Structure 1
Amino acid sequence: MAAFIITAVILTVLALLLLFWGARGGSARTGDGGRVKTNLEALQGEYAALEKNRSEGRLSQAEYEEVRAELERRVLEETKPDTGLEKADRRQRLGTFLFIALFVPIAAGVIYWRFGTWDAFNPEVAQAQSSTGGHSMAELDAQLAHLEQNLKDNPSDVNGWMLYARTNDALKRFDKASAAYEKLASLLQGSARAQVLADWADCLAAQTGNLSGRPEALVDEALKIEPSLWKALALKGTALYNRGEYRQAASVWERILRTQEPGSEDWGNTIAMVNDARAKAGMPQLTETAQVKRLEERPSGSAAASAAAARLSGTVTISPDLKAKLSGDETVFVFARPIEGSKMPVAVTQLKASELPASFTIDSSMRLPGGMGGLESLSRVVVGARVSKTGNLMPQPGDLEGYTPAVSVGSSNLVVKITSEVSR
């Protein structure tokens, strides 16, 4: 706090000195000098007229001498400085400077006292708040203790365990976070369990400083459940890279690209990781263009037959009040997307708004170039329909949309009802 006050005082003094220095020289002197100059110019004019009248014989020598003596007297008087005006101006400027010198620091202190945060002067308080989002560590510990007691009373509270695990993880209390992730893994199934396993592995790796052993085993288990889970893929690739298995690491990291939008920042960062591993393995660099082309390739042979078996079918409808707003020329996209993680569609088809209500079928052959791995890579998805007024698959304000709950891949007789407008 002392350092802050000293700094504030020094800066205030410097600001005042700059003001005083800029105002030196006084406005009274400037004004007085202007007055003298004007008067002298007038007297010079009168003297010139006097000389002209004498030369033309309009004045006698006695009259000329008398008037010239009067002009000389006036010149002496007009060139005397007005000491009274200068003193008055000096007093006025001094009063102004004293007012500024007192008002500026007092006003700053009052404003900070009213609106500032005095606790910010305390380094311990500032450090605690910066690491806990504005709450003191004591408050956060009290909240965690309360949550811990609730979890003892209700051990199947998934949301509570998730909050407890991730809060302790953020605070680097890895023992408590790891125990909470272990509890969550026993409560969850499917893709949600895979995500928790990846988080648990990440927590253990942060605690021990490496991914070998239990963390990598958890990652492998997560990938068995959700082969396209990006965090598990990232951790698996890192484990392989750290062991010097660069070719395998590059292969694993390339699978992450299927979940990312080509050209995005994440896409570029992943390409850089892949190329680093490829360079160390003596493999050619992977260009973004080549990767896009690879993702657009369709499966063939037995792989194509397997992909075709993954399909969804049903009917798209729209609320009558929304349909009345359409011209009929709008494009309707019908798509399937993962339940968690990336919202990029894995398969998409399109209709015309004039055809609604209409039947639809989605299968793995309708894979979106640059999107995730095909529909066959997922067990459950959300099916959506969007009326696009611009013809763009990405949602725009004013588009109309609707979704099903999570459904199993292979479902038929689905009903996707468009009931809402994309908010602006």
Structure 2
Amino acid sequence: MTTFWLAAAVLLLAALALLLIPVLRGQRAQAEEDRTALNVALYQERITELDAQYAAGALDSTQLEQGRSEAARELLADTEKGGLQVRSPLGRWLPLALSLLLPVVAAGLYLQWGASAALTLRQEMAQAPQTLEEAVARLEATVKAQPDNAEAWYFLGRSYMSQQRPQQAAGAFAQAVDKAGRHPELLAQWAQALYFAGNQRLTAEIRQLGEEVLAQDPQDVTVLGLFGVAAFEEQRFAEAIEYWGRLAALLAANDPSRAAIEGGIARAREELIARGESVPEPAAAVPAVELKVKVSLAAELADKVQPGDTVFVFARAASGPPMPLAAKRLTVADLPAEVSLSDSDAMMPQLKLSGFPEVQLVARISRAGSPTEGEWFGDLPPVKTAESSTQVLVIDTPEVR
């Protein structure tokens, strides 16, 4: 921020100079005019004196002409020393008034429409947050400075949920949906926040949101889990088994939440057997997704990056949320490197590669270690998540800010 204000001060001084230099020149011009007038008066006095001496017979005609010529030369010499001066049509006081008003008006306009808040926020974001509370405070500052930032609203909602603040989370997810559109992953988070904010009751609004999500993405893990919990609490055990079975089929074998889901399914089965009702068959497992990516650095960038610069390799939905689905972190020293991205690399459990038919692969170099912005990047056109061949990704494009 200090650098910005120093630069602004330099520009302000330059603008003031453009206003004040003509005023100072005008003062000098006035002095020159006063001296010229004095010289003319002295010339006229000298001519009058010569005429009087000629009339008294003290000078002859030749001496009179010589005296007149000498006086004229002296007047011309004094005039040439002063030079031709042009008075400013603005006068003297208008530039002075403008020089006083300019800093005040510039500061007021910048505070009203400038980006000081965004600049301060950018500097704060350069350092990683140390606590969840600090991360939430930064996200709150971000959405205040950038109210149309759907990604910031989404992560703010996630952070509120981590703090057990579902009411505020529901409001943040609602803003994310309003800014980014009715994407299933955003609607799912919104429905879940509303469910916990409403004392874990499946209202008509929540059900409608969940059904809208499953109509677009039948494999959405958030809604499948939410509907399974709600069905179990309302003793609709067959529905609970159906939803939880579909969810378990999507989870990796080593997923920590899988045991809890399977335990819930077992309890629901016991309830159905005790009632003498039929037990539904478990859902089939979803094939695992793994994308292989070979990442390298363009030769012309070798002397423009440092070995310790961070490299992020990630996949994001070709049509969906802007946040990464899966990511790996490397350094420039590791390049070239071959990495694999799968559901086990998911940034969030409810957003996995297997839930999207196509993704875009991106690699970014960031000296600050930020996955959202850096100095150089490379990307590929959308590829199918079922693709088995290795994708070649070259980092060769400067970031545009």
Q: Find the structure with the greater CA-based Rg.
A: 1
Query: If the length of structure 2 is used for normalisation, what is the TM-score?
Result: 0.39
Query: If the length of structure 1 is used for normalisation, what is the TM-score?
Result: 0.37
